[in-house]
Amino acid sequence: MARGLVFVAIACWALLVHTSATATVQTYVESGAGTNEIELGYPVPTPVDSALPVAGFRSYASLLARHRDLAGLGVIEERRVGTTLEGRPIWAYVIGDADLRLADGSGREPAIVFNGGTHAREWASPEVATALLETLAAGAQDGAFIEFLIDQTTIVLLPVLNIDGFLHTQRTPAQVLRTRYSGDPSNWPRDGRMRRKNMRGVDNDLTTEADGMLGVDLNRNNSPFWATSSRSSRDTASLVYHGAGPASEPEVLALQAAVADWEDRLRLFVDIHSFSRVFFAADTGHARRDAIARQVANIMGAATSGYGYDPSPAGGGIGALDEYFAYRYQIPSYTLEIEPGAAGASEYGHNGVTHDGFILPEDQVTRVRDELASALLLGAYRQAGPPVVHAFRLEAADGMMLAEGAWQPDGQQARQLDDQPATQLPTGELTLALQFDRPMRQHDGQQVLQYRGQSVPLLPAVTLVGRDADDQPFEWSVAAADMRWSGVSDSARYRADTLFITLDVEPGSGLAAARRLDVVVDAQDLSGQRLDALPATVADWADGGWTRYEDADGRSGDVGGASAAFRLVGAGGPDAPVPSSSSGGGGSGAVSPLLGLGGWLLVAWRQRRRRGSARSAACSRVSSARPA
């Protein structure tokens, strides 16, 4: 009986979709709605022909012109990754430098992927994606946050995936069809400005009702959960029709092609949608990945005006793009739903008619664009990897170098310490410069600031630990008043990448008499991620978590800790665990959990000494980074 009913329903639908009819077209208006008009309560947005950002939405032609203009600036490469059903090229933009290595020459640059315009009616999505491109291009030489992303990540960006559908919505920006599909509530608008799906089987005449419900939902067209959920459908008229098979649509294949060169280095994927004000995600059942995905979402959400995090349970899905990336690559992966929230445009004091959340008022666009570009790039920064303190220089008041050192690359997975400690500290005022591999704080050119929505201590904890003339252990904590982050004129590579510490060594003091002295740094980067405590191993990402990312006791995991970074006085290396081939604690390349910073047994780093002319460029940069 059930099979017979299904057959009758399919037959009835086939009769409907193959019968031409005059469609009931409805028109959006600001106010004074008449017959077949929908009153938004605010001006109806229309596409603006302007390559530069406007207080509203740009036409696809203008967005494309903007993308292509920015691709001529040197750090952005344009790639054709596919072709739409209507024969249009699908473009991806690869942002980064050419070397694909971390700035110190070790390790591999991670790849971050942002995708926009999956659903045609969600005009805010291509605007946010384009804002990402504009922000990266504008800050490529800012000597700070953005330049770090250019130097040490590869960002792959598809601003508009569903180009055919997006153009269809922009041809009739104020018109929709009244639905004839029994699966929709009768007041739902369809096609025209409210087209969701791609253009498979669809013409560009809004009044041809027979094809108005067709097309494929690109966010239901993906493995591993293609056609497994009640939230996707085999009915071609459904808003969530999943297509003939996983990745049956050229747009989905184009996204897969765009990431093909970076598959072994992916660390973050965000598919930009509207609306709900939330980061949707899929837990995969991989405990470490799921925990990191939550952390990254919360960090990005804190940089917004209140976006939540809503993961779905492991083992089930709807065929969404974020699920494909989460399960296939075990990386943090999200469907970001742009504002407004569930109340739609009534959130801004407007009428709150059905589906108006997809029509963001033009006076909100600039704020949303800027806010989400900032939040998403913070996610890219976070997934660039844990921070490292990788060079130091100790100078006397007259500028004479007393001690220096830097971690040098030794292949892709290791570094060797090249250092020259002092034999004893002279009395007087000394300057210790600790250089990190990234901007550790925001710096506006005048002062150190929190990144939007973050609450990280502006200064780290720095302790000098060692043994005095009687071979007794001692500790000396550096006061906050004696520390400052580098500014514009004295940065090693980026603003706020070098911490300057003033040491006042008095005659007869423990510091003056120290025969061994190490510097221990407990710092968080601007996203709150703690240091890789063991720079000798280069942290990376594999199988849903960090590898070779150690805490202060040498345990590999995802949290990091205080780093016994350098020896300032005395022979040998700092008191810290020794790199080991043994595995353990949550990642490959683990180290022996020996001693920790609280122990006083000496354990020397395995190191290779390189002196004189072999001194690194990193040391040279620290050398020239003088306090103002």
Q: Do 427 and 512 meet the contact criterion of CB atoms below 8 Å apart?
A: yes
Give the residue from 55, 54, 93, 100 showing the smallest Cα distance to 77: 93
Contact 570, 515 (CB under 8 A): yes
Whether 404 is a known active-site residue: answer: no
Closest by CA to 115, choosing from 271, 323, 231, is: 271
d(CA 508, CA 526): 38
What sign does the CA torsion over 43, 49, 53, 54 have? negative
Residue 121 tokens read as 């009616």
Which is it for the CA torsion 528, 533, 535, 538, positive or negative?
negative
CB within 8 Å of 158: residues ≥ 6 apart: 81, 90, 91, 92, 93, 114, 115, 116, 117, 129, 254, 255, 258
Q: Which residues contact 198 (CB under 8 A, 6 or more apart)?
A: 84, 85, 120, 162, 164, 165, 215, 216, 218, 249, 251
Phi, psi of 590 (to 5 degrees): -70, 165
Marked catalytic residue, from 337, 339, 404, 550:
337
3-state secondary structure of 206: coil
**By the 8 A CB rule, do 307 and 301 touch?**
yes
Q: Are 72 and 83 in contact (CB under 8 A)?
A: no
Per the CB < 8 A criterion, the answer to whether 590 and 551 are in contact is no
Residue 16 CA to residue 190 CA, distance in Å, equals: 16
Q: Where are the alpha helices (DSSP H) in 280-400?
A: 287-302, 321-329, 362-383
As given in the structure block, the two tokens for residue 525 are 């980067």
Q: How far apart are CA 628 and CA 622, in angstroms?
A: 14
Determine the Cα–Cα distance for residues 307 and 296; give it in Å rounded to an integer: 12
Task: Using alpha carbons, select from 542, 497, 492, 543 the residue that is nearest to residue 523.
Answer: 497
Place of tokens 């190191």: 607
Instruction: Count CB neighbours of 49 within 10 A.
Output: 10
Tell which residue, 533, 527, 574, has the closest CA to residue 551.
533
**With contact defined as beta carbons under 8 Å apart, do 569 and 515 qualify?**
yes
Contact 66, 51 (CB under 8 A): yes
Cis amide prior to 224 (ω within 30 degrees): yes
Count of C-beta atoms within a 10 Å radius of residue 107: 23
Q: Are strands 540-542 and 25-29 parallel, antiparallel or unpaired?
A: unpaired
What distance in Å separates the CA atoms of residue 531 and residue 110, rounded to the nearest whole number?
18
Q: Which residues are catalytic?
A: 337
